[in-house]
Amino acid sequence: MSKKSGNSKGPSKIASTGRAGSGPKGKRSLNIKVKSAKGRKLSSTLWLQRQLNDPYVQRAKDEGYRSRAAFKLLEIDDQFKLIRPGMTVIDLGAAPGGWSQVAATRCKSETGTGHNKGEVIAIDISEMDDIPGVTTFHLDFMDDSAPDVLKAALRDGGADIVMSDMAAPATGHKQTDHLRIMGLAEAGLEFALEVLKPGGIYLAKVLQGGTENELLTMMKKNFEKTRHVKPDASRADSSELYVLAIGFKNAPANKDEE
Just list the catalytic residues: 205
Number of CB atoms found within 10 A of residue 79's CB: 14
CB-based contacts of 257, cutoff 8 Å, min separation 6: none
Q: What 3-state class would DSSP assign to 115?
A: helix
Euclidean distance between CA atoms 206 and 230, whole angstroms: 10
H or E, element range at 57? helix 55-63
H or E, element range at 56? helix 55-63
Q: At what angle do helices 174-195 and 146-153 cross, to 10 degrees?
A: 40
Under DSSP, the state recorded for 8 is -
Q: What 3-state class would DSSP assign to 225?
A: strand
Comparing CA positions, the residue from 238, 243, 246, 253 lying closest to residue 196 is 246
- 86 in Cβ contact with 115 (< 8 Å): yes
Euclidean distance between CA atoms 139 and 130, whole angstroms: 15
